[in-house]
Each structure stands twice: as C-alpha cells, then as structure tokens.
C-alpha cells in the first residue's frame, strides 16, 4: 500500500465508552486525547438520540460524524473534511443519510401491540420516569426521550419478548436487545449497515478504503462488530445483554466501560505505530501492521 491508510474508530457508548452504572467516561481521556491529536475519526455508533450525542460530543470536544438510534441515520457535520456525500439530505447543520422509520410509525405499533405483551416505550413515560429507570439526570432524560427513529422498550416479562418480536417483524420492524432495554426500529436498519455506509463515504472521498475498528458490549452491537476490520468486545458489566459469541477473532478488553475502552484503544494505536518509539527494541513486542501509516494532519 503506497498511500496512507485512514483509520476510523466506530464505538458504542453505553457500557462501552461510557460506564454502564454512572455514564462516566473520564477513564477514557488518554485515548480520546490521542485520537484527537492524531486526527483519527471517532464515530459514535449508538442507540442514543441525536440530542444526546450532540451533548456528549461537545463535552468530549469531538467534531466527527455520528450514527444514532441503532443505525437509523448517519449525521455528517456540514463541510466535514470537504466530503461529497451522495444522497445526503441537509438537516440543520448536518448532511444526513437515513434508513430510519419515522418515530410516529413505531409509536403507533407500540400502542397497538404493546398492550397485548405488557410492553412500554419511552413515549409512554415521562422524563422523570425515564430518569428513574436509567439513572440519568432529568435534563439528559429529556434528551433520551427526543426520539426520531427508534423506541427503547421495557418488556417486563421475558416470555413476551418472542411474541412481540414476531409481531414487530410482521410489520417490517426489528427488535434488538441493548445493554438496558430492547429497541424497536425499522427492519432495514442496524449499526452494521450504517457503519458500512459511513466507511463507503470515506472510501469514495479518499479513493481508498479506510481501516475500521469497532467497539461494543451488547447484542445490538453485533452488526457493528461484524462490519469492521478489527472488532473489539468490551465486557458487559451487568447481567445479560452481552455479546455471547460469534466473533472468535475479536479483541476482548480486560475491563468493562471506559477503562477497558481506553486500554483497548491505546493498545491498538500503539500496535499501529501511532506513538513514537523511545529507543531501539522498545517496539519488539508490538504487532506489526504491514504498510500501515496514519494521516498526521486532517484531510
């Protein structure tokens, strides 16, 4: 490979970059700083809403595209790296590629089918109730309720999950398990589709395919991990909802949440030769990635 290869990191948030219990991410500061300094795109790939992602990006000083609501839409900031983005729609300060089903359609289905299976969605709950369920501050619970393309569900009886999934599939929707909730969305969307779509935008503009890393901890992250070159599994801190298998070659972080995420990302960057080597032989144990070079400046 004669030209430099661009690395892109796609990451889940809850239970991955963010701790599951308290949503903290400060343990990941060293890796976040390294990515920013080396101009490596960090693309949030999450079930969270656009409003939630925007708040987190501002807090972490991230200005890259993001994928929200389990792959429903990819938001590229207007003018991002001067990219051409075919078929994107201008929305506010973004260019948007969307595969999502309008939220009103999902709510209509939940109202019809949910009563038969004892299912409640975020649309049935107040911000105060969402805050109580999630541990989010009230202001952030309001952002979590601002859905556009998907609906987090509370299914109290596990025996009802299969029946509700069957009804959802009959209507062209999909039901996946996340770290805390099940998520109802359009049948043609998932994180993997959105990751591939985003990578294709980079390839089309760079003239070469990027090398992709993906990090996740839950069942709804499986399509993300399947779509990247290097999948990394973050261990699940809670009971259930983790990734049971299917990725024998995946890296596995030693710790859950932001600590494990930080260690995994720094290790990968070190193996890729991002960090300067101090003295001969200090990189003897580093895994070599043939012909791999990072862009040192923004594109």
Burial of 86: CB neighbours in 10 Å, binned 0-12, 13-18, 19+: exposed
Q: Is 12 one of the catalytic residues? A: yes
Identified catalytic residue from 12, 14, 64, 217: 12
Q: Report the distance separating Cα 63 and Cα 42, nearest Å.
A: 9
Q: Which residues contact 119 (CB under 8 A, 6 or more apart)?
A: 110, 113, 153, 154, 155, 160, 164
Those residues with Cβ within 8 angstroms of residue 245's Cβ, 6 or more apart along the chain or in another chain = none
H helical segments located in the chain: 29-37, 50-60, 103-117, 127-134, 138-144, 161-170, 191-206, 222-227, 257-271
Give the active site residues. 12
């Amino acid at each position: 490979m004669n030209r430099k290869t661009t690395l892109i990191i796609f990451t889940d948030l809850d239970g991955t970059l963010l701790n599951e219990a308290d949503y903290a991410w400060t343990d990941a500061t060293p890796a976040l700083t390294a990515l920013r300094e080396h101009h490596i795109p960090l693309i949030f790939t999450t079930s969270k809403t656009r409003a939630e992602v925007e708040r987190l990006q501002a807090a972490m000083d991230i200005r890259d595209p993001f994928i929200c609501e389990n792959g429903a839409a990819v938001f590229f900031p207007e003018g991002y790296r001067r990219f051409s983005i075919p078929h994107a729609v201008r929305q506010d300060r973004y260019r948007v590629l969307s595969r999502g089903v309008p939220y009103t359609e999902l709510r209509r289905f939940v109202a019809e089918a949910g009563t038969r299976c004892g299912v409640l969605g975020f649309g049935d709950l107040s911000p105060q109730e969402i805050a109580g369920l999630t541990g989010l501050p009230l202001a952030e619970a309001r952002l979590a309720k601002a859905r556009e393309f998907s609906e987090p569900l509370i299914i109290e009886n596990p025996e009802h999950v299969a029946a509700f999934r069957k009804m959802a599939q009959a209507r062209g929707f999909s039901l996946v398990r996340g770290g805390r909730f099940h998520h109802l969305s359009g049948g043609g969307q998932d994180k993997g589709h959105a990751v591939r779509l985003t990578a294709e935008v980079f390839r089309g503009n760079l003239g070469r395919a990027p090398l992709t890393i993906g990090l996740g901890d839950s069942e709804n992250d499986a399509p993300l991990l399947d779509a990247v070159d290097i999948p990394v599994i973050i261990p699940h801190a809670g009971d259930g909802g983790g990734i049971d298998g299917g990725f024998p070659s995946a890296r596995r972080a030693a710790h859950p949440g932001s600590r494990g995420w930080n260690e995994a990302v720094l290790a990968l960057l070190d193996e890729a030769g991002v960090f300067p080597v101090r003295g001969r032989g200090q990189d003897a144990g580093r895994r070599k990635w043939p012909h791999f070079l990072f862009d040192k400046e923004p594109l």
